[in-house]
Every structure is written in C-alpha cells, then in structure tokens.
Amino acid sequence: MATITRMGKKNKKIRNYYQLWVISFLAFIFLVGTYFYSLSISSDDNSSCASCHGKMIGFSGGHTDLSCISCHLGNDLDFSKSAHENMISIPGNLDNVSKTCSQVGCHVGIDHRVQNSLMNTMSGVVAVDKHIFGESMDLNAIHHIESLGSSASDTHLKQLCASCHLGNKKNETGPISELSRGGGCNACHLNYSKKAIVSHNKYVDSEYDDLPNIHPKLSLNVTNNHCFGCHSRSARISTNYEGWHELEKNSKNERGRTRRLEDGRLFEFIKEDVHHKLGLNCIDCHNANEVMGDGIYYAHQENAVKITCTDCHKNDIPKSVLFDELDAESQKIIELRKMDTTVKYVVGKSGPMINVHTNSVNSMIFVNKLSKEEHVLSKPSWQCTQNAHIRLACETCHTSWSPQCVSCHTSFDTSQMRYNHISHLEYKGKWIEKGAIYLSEFPTLGIVSDQEIEKIKTFIQGMTMELDLSDFSVDSPKKKHFRYFAPTFSHTISSKGQTCSNCHKNPVALGYGRGELHLNDVVSFTPSMKIDTNDNLPIDAWIGFLSNEKGNSTRTNTRNLNKVEQIKILRVGKCLSCHEDNSQVSKLMLKDFENALLQKTEQCRDMKLK
C-alpha cells in the first residue's frame, strides 16, 4: 500500500512537471507568435499609428510588411499621446540599433560589427593625433572617438574630426547630403525618393504639422553620395575618385571646371578614377565586411581593408565557388540584390566577391551592384609582371595624382567659440588649422612592410605642420614642428600606368620634394621650395637628397626609400635621359637590369653623385 502511495505521489509530481512544461511552452509560443504578428502588421492597419499618420507608403524589400513599432517602438494600441512613450523617432542610430535594426528577427549581430568598425571608432585618427600631440607613443594603440577626455589632442579631435564617426547621431529627418555625418545605419542605407523629399519638405515647411505619408526607403542602394559627406574630408577619397582637387581658400588659381561643395570648399577638376569613369560605386569594391566591419577592432584603415587590385586583375585562373558554397550573408545579399545564383563566384584575398564571377572560358566578369552592368576584367600588362617591378604595389604605377598640402599651422584661440561634435555643445576655446600650398601631383614613394614582405607604395605629406600649444595650457611648450608622411591609396587610378620617367626622374617620387633633378655628368638636386629652418629640409620633402636617414611616418611598418634604393632608381633615370621609355633598352632593364648594364656602350656614362 505504501508502495502504491509513493508511486501515486511520483506520478502526480511528473504530471505537475509536465503541466508546467506545457504551460511554459504554450506561453513561449504565444509570445513568439505575438512578436512575429506585430512584425507582420502592415502600415495601413487599424493601429493607433495609422489613426494619426494615415497609410504610410514608400517602403522597400523586407521592410514593406513591418509595423511601425517594429522599428520605432512605442505603443500602437494606445490611441492617446502615450502611444509615443519610449518611441524612437530615428531608428538606426548606434545608440538605439540594438533595439531597432539589430533586434531579434531582424539584422542580429550587425550592431556589434558596426560599433567595433573603424568608421565608428576612428581608432587610427585618434592614435596619430595623440602621437603628434605628444600624448601617446603607440601609433597602433586601439582608441574610440567617444572615449576622449579633455586633453589638447582630445579637444582638437572633438572639434575638427569627430563628426564623421558613425556613432554621431542623426537628430533630424531628411535625405543624405554632402553635409551628412554619422547616423549609424542611416548613413549608408537611407534613401529618399523624389516624392518622399516633397512630402518631407512639406512637413518641415508646415512646422511639423502636415505629417508626411511617404516613408524613406531603407535599402541596399548604397550610392557614392552616401560616402561623400565623410570621405570628402581628410584624404579627400570621395572627391579624388570623382576627379576633384581642393583649392586653397580664396584661391584665384582656377584652371578649368570648378565645383563648390555645400560646405563652401572650392574644387577644380583634374582627372577621375578609371573605375568611376566606368560607373563603379564604392560598394562595388568594398564589401559588407569592410564597410560594416567584421566585429574586430582595427588600429588603422589599411588593416580593415582586405580588397586588393589583384583580386580582380590577375593572369591565373581564379579560385571560384558555387552559390551554395558561399557564406550565409553573401547568399542573402545576392538574393536581395537579385543577382545571378547560377554562376561561380570568384574568391579573392578578401574572401568571396558576390559581384565577380567567371564565365565559360574562365574570363572574370565584374557586375555593378546597383546598375547590374557587366564588365570583362582586364589582366595585368607585361610591364606589371617584370622582375624590376616585383615589389611595386599596383597603385604605385597606376595612381595618376594625389592631393597634397605642403604645410599646416595648428593653434588654439581661447577667445573664440567652437562646436564639440561629441557633446553637441558650443564652448569657448577653438582649435584653428591653416593649410597652405594645395597641390595635385604624383605622390611620393615609400616602403610598407607586411609580415616581412616589403612593397613600394604611395605616400603623401600626412602631418607636416607647426603645432602651437602655448594658448591651450601654460605647461605646454610654445611650438612643435613635425614632418610626417603617411601611406595613401588616393583612388585616382588610371588604366595606363605612369611612364618610367615619372618615377625614375621625379624628385617628388623619391622624397626630395619639388625642384630640378640634374642627371647630367653629375647627379644632383636643386629644391624649388623654401628650406624649413627647423630641420633644414625643403618644406615639401620627406628626406634629403640621397639621405640614408629615416624620415617620420604615421605608421610603424613604413619607411622612406633608403640610399641604396634611391641610387638604383636614379641610375635607371640617368639611362632614361637617352633611352625612351618604350625602347628595347628600357624593356631589357625591366626584365633584367644587371644584364642590361653589361651591354653598355662607350656612349653610356657612369653615374656620379654630388
């Protein structure tokens, strides 16, 4: 009897556990069902949102069937003003992205990636600035623009640099423009149609009483205009790509087509990048992992950018995979962009490229992500593969020009007001930068080491300046002088590379600055720009003529050309004084320079250095 009683109690206990499990499971199903039901309610339902805002149209893709509260939160069952409680008027800013774009059922994990990306942390910009200001010796330290304090460098960054990071909130509705900065997901994915702009402007003109009924699209239509607001600053990548070079303030040296940006800066047209001329957009080369980040903190831009020229332009048969072999994100983007899923996608150093595939004869086909226009990719020319150019990066020969500012003066004025791009407040004390002598010429060459492999790449004057800290703090030295060069990828690529003479007979390319390079009986150099008394170098130079000293750089894995390398380059330059670039002698020098030297005649002169 006791045994039966114990069994009954045990069975009752099991039933209780079973009932609790069933109730919990049903509750879970109810909550999940309620959540996905809320996502499925369209904008023309009977929610409280629609009672005021009416039927909202203009959505695209997967956002078409979402309810208002899916992105904006709030309470769509409350027909009073309390419906706006906890509402987010502009979803997608990085301070709300975890609750909006990256919530469960949507773009999970994207918040972590974007928040850790260089476009949000600006780590490299902070590291270099702090190094120049003497506040950090580590150029590779990881920083975050939103963790700045009140030091000289920190206030300088807050005033002049911090507006461009993605965490900078978009506080006002409206389309992306040249003046747009930050905005999280909106920075790249917000698109207003012409009708949406009319509806929005009517809303603004009525002082926000006439509610708009056309919603902007959030889509994969990421145009160059989305990048322009931030990337037309600093290295001027966006303007370079389109062929525009900035002129000095109040410049009267306009030489042709000019363009004034919305921020007032004046540009003249030089030459556009060949990829821009073909209609390629920034996102055609820079994929999702590069643009939105891969979740890893990087010290500098070149660490995060994985795409290379040889991913697309190569002589060998590329590695390729089928659609089913791609990662889930690549597959999703291909489907959303309605791209061909039957082709074999090329895999480069940066990973799978969703807009590059091979055809039946193994030619590589490049597809514009927005226009869907196709291009057959060209292969490197024979000059690119010769022994003499084995260390040259592709852009070294194919960059047509780079923007260069020869000198800069930075000082602090305690009497003026300045806006803080982190706190979004104005306060007294303003950093003032004055640049001088803006040039658009072929850049300087230097060495970049990557895992013991050295490549000759392009450099520009990244930080040749006089820094005056005397008015910021009584403890600061009055003035500091700096001469730093920085590696650059100017995005001014030409299909036809530079001539041999453009490098081998060019003092700027060698790091000497502008002037006359004499390649007569005795090789010497006469600078044309004034000498800086701080270091006795021309103001536009990285190093002195045939100097073996190491010039300063904003990267620890870079250096200028050493004396041995300079002599080799000048030796070829001297040969080019008589032999044309495309002569048989020049071609032989490309293949085997030492063998070419053995074939010297009595007319050939040995190089003497002054």
* Per-position DSSP letters for 486-525, written without gaps between them: EE---S-B-SSPPPHHHHHT-HHHHTS-SEEEEESSEEEE
Closest among 462, 463, 458 to 493, alpha carbons compared: 458
- Report pLDDT for 26: 54
The reported pLDDT for the residue numbered 7 is 46
pLDDT digits (tens, 9 = 90+) for 387-428: 888 899 999 999 999 999 988 899 999 999 999 999 999 999
Whether the CB-CB separation of 458 and 527 falls below 8 Å is answered with no
- Residue 279 pLDDT level (bands cut at 50, 70, 90): very high
pLDDT at res. 44: 45
Predicted local distance difference test score (pLDDT) of residue 255: 64
Q: What is the pLDDT of residues 210-226, one digit of tens each?
A: 899 999 999 999 999 99
CA dist 234 and 4 (Å) reads 84
pLDDT at 5: 45
Tell me what pLDDT residue 548 has.
93
Highest mean pLDDT among 25-29, 50-54, 306-310: 306-310
Tens-digit pLDDT profile for residues 186-195:
999 999 999 9
Identify whether the C-beta of residue 59 lies closer than 8 Å to the C-beta of residue 215. yes
pLDDT of residue 477: 66
Query: Using an 8 Å Cβ cutoff, are 246 and 404 in contact?
Result: no
For residue 13, pLDDT beyond 70: no
pLDDT at 22 over 70: no
Higher pLDDT, 5 or 469: 469
- Per-residue model confidence (pLDDT) at position 15: 55
Q: Report whether pLDDT(610) > 50.
A: yes
Q: Residue 386: what pLDDT?
A: 85
**Is a pLDDT exceeding 90 seen at residue 208?**
no
C-alpha to C-alpha distances, 491 to 401, 518, 573, nearest whole angstrom? 9, 31, 27
> What percent of the chain clears pLDDT 90, i.e. is strictly above it?
70
DSSP 304-322: H----HHHHS-SSPPPEE-
Asked if residue 241 lies in contact with residue 273, where contact means CB atoms within 8 angstroms, the answer is yes
pLDDT at 362: 87
Q: Kindly tell me if the per-residue pLDDT of 6 is higher than 90.
A: no
Q: What does the pLDDT read at residue 591?
A: 86
Residue 473 confidence (pLDDT): 80
pLDDT of 358 reads 94
Which of 266-270, 475-479, 483-487, 589-593 has the least mean pLDDT?
475-479
Higher-confidence residue of 220 and 598: namely 220
Which one has a higher pLDDT value, 163 or 581? 163
* 27's tokens: 């509750």
Predicted confidence band of residue 2 (pLDDT cuts 50, 70, 90): very low
Q: Model confidence over 218-270: pLDDT tens digits?
A: 999 999 999 999 999 988 999 999 999 999 877 766 567 899 999 999 999 99
Q: Within 13 A of 294's CA, how many CA atoms are on the CB side?
A: 12
For residue range 580-593, list pLDDT tens digits in order.
888 888 888 888 88
* 4 pLDDT tier (thresholds 50, 70, 90): very low
The beta-strand segments (E) located in 318-358 are 320-321, 344-348, 351-358
pLDDT of residue 470: 87
Virtual CA dihedral for 157, 160, 162, 163, nearest 10 degrees? 170
pLDDT surpasses 50 at 131: yes
For residues 491 and 239, give the distance between their C-alpha atoms in angstroms, rounded to a whole number. Answer: 9
Neighbours of 575 (CB within 10 A): 23
Ordered alpha helix ranges (H), 133-287: 152-160, 186-189, 194-205, 224-231, 237-242, 274-277, 282-285
Kindly give, in sequence order, each residue whose CB lies less than 8 Å from that of residue 82, ignoring residues fewer than 6 positions away. 75
Give 45's pLDDT tier (boundaries 50, 70, 90): low
* pLDDT at 290 > cutoff 80: yes
Model confidence at 124: pLDDT above 60: yes
Look at residue 16 in the predicted model and tell me its pLDDT. Answer: 56
> What phi, psi does 301 have (nearest 5°)?
-55, -45
The strands making up 258-260's β-sheet, listed across from edge to edge, are: 244-246, 266-269, 258-260
Mean pLDDT of the chain: 89
At residue 43 the predicted structure's pLDDT band, cuts being 50, 70 and 90, is very low
Q: Can you tell me the mean pLDDT for 559-563? A: 97
Name the 3-class secondary structure at 191: strand
pLDDT for residue 148 is more than 50: yes
